[in-house]
Structure 1
Amino acid sequence: MIVVELRKLFRRPRTWVTIGLLCLLPAIVAAFLASTRITPPPGQGAAFLSAVLESGSLYPAAALALVLPIFLPVAVAVVAGDAVAGESTAGTLRYLLVRPVRRTALLGAKLVSVIVFVVVTVAAVAGSSYVVGVTLFGAGDPIAVVNAIPQIGGPGGGGSSSSSGSSSSGGTANGPAAAAPAAPGASPPAAGTPGTGTSTGLDPTEARDRAADSVSSLSGAPLSPGDLALRLLGAMGYITISMLGVGAIAFFLSTATASALGATLGALAALITSQVLVTLDAAASVTPYLPTRYWLAWIDFFRDPIFLRDIRSGVLVQLAYVLVLMVASWANFTTKDVAA
């Protein structure tokens, strides 16, 4: 049953068109950056976008920041919203259930197909962006990369774990714009300055030796290619879990209605409402439980040390949504009258 659902998903041209469009957006942005050599000013634009001219190895992180707020959730909502409601709209759901297949098994197979779609899409965006970034910008000059991303203020490098509301919304001061590294070409902090992440009295030769074959974390510490790869994998895993929360909302609505479009729009409406409430001080009491509250906590994987508080909170929130909504989806689907 799972194999059947996966074949059905990946034989649809719209699945590959969706993945292709998500990969195309970062490629277009990279082409403009490479041709103009103009990056957003410090504190503006998607996270990491102002540092990619110095290191193409960081472009997968910038690409994920580009697609996460809007495009990736829309794609996941469309696929998950169509999982059950699409069969009902096409009139094929009743024929699926005529076969000796338990409803629970069918629901589980469709859930697996949604999970696989999310994993494949995130991996495709990150992988294609890495190839594009390294091709257009190179691996990065060691000295320039070490000084391109100064340490963010706050305990342990600051960031989302050191202030409330951070890593929560692009419209707040602590969102991805605030977490974005300084623009390449900005004056590097003086050697020996506390909190810069550079060694006291570090001359250019020592800096080059220390940063060879590495890029810099948001806190200024050099990252080896292996360390950067592990942090990217962590960010990809976290984003995948976050998108499963989106999928769970759309999946539940897909079992509650016969309209795939209605399920998709309902999920998007829920996410937009969550984003609005996240930026509203009056909703502070419910903000920690909103599905989009910790979406941007993946940026903390690129700090040194890694800030785990918001990452843990985000994982727990998304798993709670997935668990509750999947139980509700099962209850809906197993009692659904598909003969009507």
Structure 2
Amino acid sequence: MILVELGKLFRRRRTWLTIALLNLLPTVVAVLLAVTGIAPRPGQGPAFLSAVVANGSLYAIAALAIVLPLFLPISVAVVAGEAVAGEAQAGTLRYLLIRPVGRTRLLVAKLVASAAYVLVSVLTVAAVGFVIGRLTLGNAPLSQSMVSISGTLLSPGQIAWRTAVAIAFITFSMLGVAAMALFLSTLTDSPQTATLGALAFLIGSSLLLTIDAARPLQPYLPTRYWLTFVDLYRDPLLLSGIERGIGLQAVYVAVLLGAAWANFATKDVTS
């Protein structure tokens, strides 16, 4: 069942069109930086964007920082929001459940497919960002050390494993978005409603992070620690934000998936 869902997802043109559009903004930004040579000052703009003019290899992580606040969550919400509601809207959900496929098994397959989309999207943005960065921006040797946010030098090996951890952290952070959209997808027969509901929740979370009166709530908001992967490039490492982000997303994923299973297992499917 999992292989069937993965095949359905990655055979769709719109899946790859969504991933292509996800890479469009970082590509445009890289071209503009290459043409103008004007980068944001350190501490301004997306993470690492001020350093990529000299070292295009860093554009892999800068590209992820560009799409993380908005475009990546939107694409994940669209795919996960369609998982169950899309089948209901097309009238195929009831026929899927008539076959010897349990509801839990179907939901797990939908979850795995959504998680696979998240991983492929993040890896694609990082890979395209690396290639575009090397082609259009500074092509410093890969053996060159990088200046950390703290001002010390990081070796290529340190850069490599920290980037791998950053990619894993971003992927796990997006699983919270997928879990929210999947839960809403079990509540409605409209994938658009599920997607918009998940996005409304995330936009509300981002807005509350900017309001001082909401400070007591901010440590528990799902978007609170998304950008803390930047701390991986400090020396020494600052892992408190990463650990809190992982713990918070784990709670959201567990609670939302539990709610999705409880609702879907008892739902009266008529479409």
Shared fold, TM over 0.5: yes
* Corresponding residue to 1:251 among 169, 174, 182: 182
Deviations 1:213-251 (A, max 9, x none): 211211122222221111111111111111001111111
Q: Which runs of 5+ in 1 are unaligned?
A: 143-211
What is the alpha-carbon distance in structure 1 between the residues aligned to residue 160 and residue 16 of structure 2? 26
Tell me how far 1:137 sits from its aligned partner.
2.2
What is the alpha-carbon distance in structure 1 between the residues aligned to residue 138 and residue 203 of structure 2? 37
Matched, 1:279 2:191: no
Q: Find the residue that maps to 2:206 and give its secondary structure.
A: helix
> How many residues in Structure 1 have an aligned counterpart in Structure 2?
271
Matched, 1:119 2:146: no
Q: Answer whether contact 1:54 1:141 (CA < 8 A) is retained.
A: no
Tell me how far 1:139 sits from its aligned partner.
3.7
Decide which structure has the larger Cα Rg and report it.
1
Deviations 1:94-146 (A, max 9, x none): 0000101111000000000000000000000001111111122234389xxxx
AA aligned to 2:255 is V
AA aligned to 1:294 is Y
Matched, 1:310 2:241: yes
What is the alpha-carbon distance in structure 1 between the residues aligned to residue 141 and residue 113 of structure 2? 41
Relative to total residues, which structure has the larger helix share, 1 or 2? Answer: 2
What is residue 88 of structure 2 aligned with on the other side? 88
AA aligned to 1:276 is L
What is residue 101 of structure 2 aligned with on the other side? 101
Q: Which runs of 5+ in 2 are unaligned?
A: none
What is the alpha-carbon distance in structure 2 between the residues aligned to residue 109 and residue 260 of structure 1? 17
What is residue 201 of structure 1 aligned with on the other side? none
Deviations 1:20-53 (A, max 9, x none): 1112221111111111111123332111111111
What is residue 253 of structure 2 aligned with on the other side? 322
Q: Find the residue that maps to 2:83 and give its secondary structure.
A: helix
AA aligned to 1:123 is L
Structure 1 runs of 4+ with >3 Å offset: none
Q: Aligned residues: percent identity?
A: 59
What is the alpha-carbon distance in structure 2 between the residues aligned to residue 37 and residue 141 of structure 1? 19
What is residue 72 of structure 2 aligned with on the other side? 72
What is residue 62 of structure 2 aligned with on the other side? 62
Q: Answer whether contact 2:84 2:182 (CA < 8 A) is retained.
A: yes
What is residue 300 of structure 1 aligned with on the other side? 231
What is the alpha-carbon distance in structure 2 between the residues aligned to residue 339 and residue 21 of structure 1? 35
Tell me how far 1:74 sits from its aligned partner.
0.2
The 5-angstrom pairing of residues 43-192 of structure 1 reads 43-140=43-140
